[in-house]
Structure 1
Amino acid sequence: MDRTIYLDGAFVPAADARVSVMDRGFLFADGIYEVSAVLDGRLVDNDAHLARLDRSLAAIGIANPHAPEAWARLQAELVRRNGLAEGVVYIQVTRGAAERDFGYGPDLVPTVVMFTQPKTIVGAPVQASGARVVTRPDLRWARRDIKSVGLLAQVMAKREAAAAGAAEVFMVEDGFITEGGSSTVFVVTAAGALVTRPLSHAVLPGITRLAVMRLAAEAGLALDERAIAVDEAVAAREVFFTSASNFVVPVVAIDGSDIGDGRPGPHARRLMALYVALARAEAEDRAGQAPG
């Protein structure tokens, strides 16, 4: 069955979804995207993802086309139409279509696209095997806190990682890890403290990052937000990364060097279990509050 796409106010078959070649997202990467996970047919951490979408749109001066409640209804309907049980919902909002010019007028209408992608998140093989990662120089622009569709640096770095047999790439600047190509990086120190880089323009404010930090605090783990050197990560007791499309993934090697004993660590496994349980509980709670 053909996948259904949401495009500018209508649900259409994927084969019929068309965006203008003059769209500024295509010509200038002048747009924002957001990704929410779907587990058991329900959206995960979606309010926070929609809030980040709103912040990113405001940062580049695009009016948000929908209120959060309207976005959520459209996402849920797209999930329903595609019969998605597990995977992600992708949202992209660009400034709209106009003649190619760096400047633009005040009357542009944003282009809105949404689609679903099935994906195994819970029970994915990488959860059991752990991920091997490589490091690469961080070549991205200075406002990484904005979830821009301009992802060429990540595409290049991830291509090199895949060629090296790695599942993710850690971006490095001045000897310190900024974040993964599409994830937030955590290390567990020898003393058992959980460390991740603090929020700034240098990193995206990860939604799963925030939830995992909250769960770690509730579980009694010490938390430290500071820069992480590559050497510290390689020598750490444990390393993992988080993202909406993977939740929590243990890292077993960085640039060919084993992390700990080279197997997924207990903190990553525990936090993954806690996050899945939280996601399912919150989804059940929202379902119970929905009007019948």
Structure 2
Amino acid sequence: MSRYAYVNGSYIHHEEASVHIEDRGFQFGDSIYEVVYLHKGRLIDQDPHLDRMERSLGEIGMEMPMSRAAMKLIIQEMVRKNRLKTGLVYIQVTRGSSTRDFPFPKTYRPTVVMTARRMPVFDPKKALKAIKVKSVEDIRWGRCDIKTTQLLAAAFSKQIALDDGFDDAWMVDQEGFVTEGTSNNAWIVTKEGKLKTRKADHDILNGITRQCIIRLAKNKGMEISEEAFTIEEALNAKEAFVTSASACLKPVTQINDQTVGNGEVGLISSEIAQLYADFLEG
């Protein structure tokens, strides 16, 4: 089946889609993106994702390129044209193309790109395959709360982890605290059963799935603390896991060369995964 992409008002065969060679998203990473998960035909947390996109654009001096209603129509058409039932819709907005120079152009026409791809349905009974993470220095810029396409530092960190036989990296700040994974938020479950994840500030992306799980867990009566933790704390924790729109939830059973807890997928991680799966079903 042919895949379709959306580029500046046109639906194009995926392999033929392109942007101008001087697009600032291509040359400077001067762009914002979002990824919305589609579960059995239902777009999950679409408005929170678009809210975050609008905020990120505002933080770099841009506005939404079209009305919320118009963007939703295009997203829905991308789902239809790609015959997507479960998968991801990727949205990117750049500051458009102009003669290459560092200052922002005084006038510009934003570039809007969307792609879509299939994914398997999240099933907590099948998807909870544990991962191993490697701790690395966080070398990213100081505004990680903005969902920019400047992802080289994260990609570099993940490649270091993969080259060393791990599945992902947990980035650590100069004070020794974990910020987040390369494309996900980091969590631990303390020995007392309390959930801990870093406070949403400039050092991390405030994940939409993160926000959803905080809400679901609180409704279930679980204790949650939004505060930073160290690698040592994580190794002494009962459980650890990561969350994101694309992966939903993945347990972490090894950090560097040490196991977390008993080295198995924990009961609380499994319970939260089931809570999220129930939420996806509506």
TM tier, smaller: over 0.9
Distance 2:271 2:143 in 1: 33
Query: Does the 8 A contact of 2:40 with 2:121 survive in 1?
Result: no
Distance 1:263 1:94 in 2: 43
Distance 1:9 1:125 in 2: 41
Paired AA for residue 122 in structure 1: F
Task: State whether structure 2 residue 239 is matched by structure 1 residue 253.
Answer: no
Partner residue in 1 for 2:192: 191
Query: Does the 8 A contact of 1:136 with 1:169 survive in 2?
Result: yes
Partner residue in 1 for 2:85: 85
Deviation by residue 1:29-58 (Cα, 9 ceiling, x = unmatched): 101011111111221111100100000001
Partner residue in 1 for 2:201: 200
User: Equivalent residues in 2 for 1:135-146 (5 A)?
Assistant: 135-146=135-146
Instruction: Quote how far apart the aligned CAs of 1:87 are.
Output: 1.7
- TM-score for the superposition, normalised by structure 2: 0.96
Deviation by residue 1:214-245 (Cα, 9 ceiling, x = unmatched): 11111111111111111000110010110000
Partner residue in 2 for 1:285: none
Distance 1:69 1:265 in 2: 41
User: Equivalent residues in 2 for 1:88-127 (5 A)?
Assistant: 88-123=88-123, 127=127
Paired AA for residue 263 in structure 1: E
Instruction: Quote how far apart the aligned CAs of 1:167 are.
Output: 2.1
Query: Does the 8 A contact of 1:143 with 1:201 survive in 2?
Result: yes
Instruction: Quote how far apart the aligned CAs of 1:83 are.
Output: 1.1
- TM-score for the superposition, normalised by structure 1: 0.93
Distance 2:179 2:3 in 1: 36
Distance 2:195 2:25 in 1: 38
Deviation by residue 1:123-158 (Cα, 9 ceiling, x = unmatched): 389833311111110000000000010000011011
User: Equivalent residues in 2 for 1:14-93 (5 A)?
Assistant: 14-93=14-93
Distance 2:194 2:267 in 1: 13
Instruction: Quote how far apart the aligned CAs of 1:113 are.
Output: 0.3
Distance 1:84 1:267 in 2: 32
Distance 2:171 2:221 in 1: 29
Query: Does the 8 A contact of 1:98 with 1:104 survive in 2?
Result: no
Paired AA for residue 240 in structure 2: V
Instruction: Quote how far apart the aligned CAs of 1:278 are.
Output: 1.0
Distance 2:156 2:131 in 1: 19
SS at match of 1:228: coil
Partner residue in 1 for 2:3: 3
Structure 2 unmatched ranges of 5 or more: none
User: Equivalent residues in 2 for 1:116-265 (5 A)?
Assistant: 116-123=116-123, 127-173=127-173, 174-265=175-266
Structure 1 unmatched ranges of 5 or more: 282-292
Residues matched between the structures, number: 281
1:121–1:175 CA distance, 2 compared to 1 (3 A) = farther
Distance 1:254 1:143 in 2: 26
SS at match of 2:281: helix
Paired AA for residue 8 in structure 1: N
SS at match of 2:91: strand
Instruction: Quote how far apart the aligned CAs of 1:121 are.
Output: 5.0
1:255–1:209 CA distance, 2 compared to 1 (3 A) = same
Distance 2:126 2:21 in 1: 38
**Percent identity at matched positions?**
39
Paired AA for residue 257 in structure 1: Q
Deviation by residue 1:226-278 (Cα, 9 ceiling, x = unmatched): 11111000110010110000111111111121111111111111111111211
SS at match of 1:88: strand
SS at match of 2:103: coil
Deviation by residue 1:169-220 (Cα, 9 ceiling, x = unmatched): 1100121100111111111111111111111111111100010001111111
Instruction: Quote how far apart the aligned CAs of 1:166 are.
Output: 2.0
1:103–1:145 CA distance, 2 compared to 1 (3 A) = same
Paired AA for residue 146 in structure 1: I
